[in-house]
Amino acid sequence: MALNWFKYSSPQTFYPLAGRLIPVFAVLAAVLGAVGLYIGFFVAPTDFQQGEAYRIIFIHVPAAWMSMFIYLVMAGWAAFGLILNTRLSSMMATALAPTGALMTFLALWTGSLWGKPMWGTWWAWDARMTSELILLFLYIGFMALQASIDDPRRADKAGAILALVGAVNVPIIYFSVKWWNTLHQGSSISFGRSPSMASTMLLGMLVMALAYWMYCIAAALMRVRSIILERERNAQWVRDLKGAPA
């Protein structure tokens, strides 16, 4: 028999699956995070021009990657929800937004901390930073819009449209350093070109990126479980869950 892909597309079957997956991703996040930080702070060499200050890259770059990637995934789930009218897709989009906003905030905050000693300013209105700030507002706008509409179905639809409209901002953030003169430097890692960093630095950054991935998946799954319980609270299986001994 072929694998039934739709088995886990209903909240009722996804709920226990998510519960089983969370510890796996959480443990992986902790282990990879510890290894990544160790490489970043103790193994990776000092940089030739920025000295030790460059080490914030291990926090900053993975956060910035996640902030853009999560937005695309969120917009993708929102589109699924809009097109197929599936409940779980919209719940996934809703669950991803706060994690995405957190990543965007982290990227902006660590970038600011990095900018002061290196560039000489906390903030500059260049294309990269401005578009990343717009991304933060998009996440906050998505959450606020969904929270302001009582009917979850309508909230999902309105949010999905906002998420899809905002998706044009992601390529703008990514390519801003290529298209315009910016204070922010270009990408050290891009497709079709060898990375312009020493290999241990690169390794540390990639391990940290994996750790962020695992954390974001675990956090989104935990949040989606709460959303499922909240929205399906009148369903028989949730009532059974409540009645069942923990």
Partner 1 sequence: MKTRHKRLALVAGGVAVLGIAAALILNAFQSNLVFFYSPSQVAAHEAPHDRSFRIGGLVEQGSLQRQPDGVTVRFVVTDTAKSIPVLYAGILPDLFKEGKGVVAQGKLDTDGVFHAREVLAKHDENYMPPEAADALEKARKAEHESQRTLVMERAKETPK
Binding residues for partner 1, per CB under 8 A?
45-50, 54, 57, 79, 82-85, 117-121, 124-127, 164-165, 167-168, 172, 179-183, 185-188, 196-198, 201
DSSP-assigned letter for residue 45: P
CB of 245 to partner 1, least distance (A): 41
Residue type, 83: I
Collect all residues with Cβ–Cβ distance below 8 Å to 99 and sequence separation of at least 6: 70, 216, 219, 220, 223
CB of 103 to partner 1, least distance (A): 21
CB nearer to partner 1: give 67 or 176: 176
CB of 176 to partner 1, least distance (A): 8
CB nearer to partner 1: give 13 or 187: 187
CA 129 distance to own-chain centroid: 17
CB nearer to partner 1: give 27 or 198: 198
CB of 123 to partner 1, least distance (A): 11
DSSP-assigned letter for residue 46: P
25 to 22, 29, 34, 213: CA distances (angstroms) = 5, 6, 14, 9
CA distance 112 to 183: 12
CB nearer to partner 1: give 194 or 236: 194
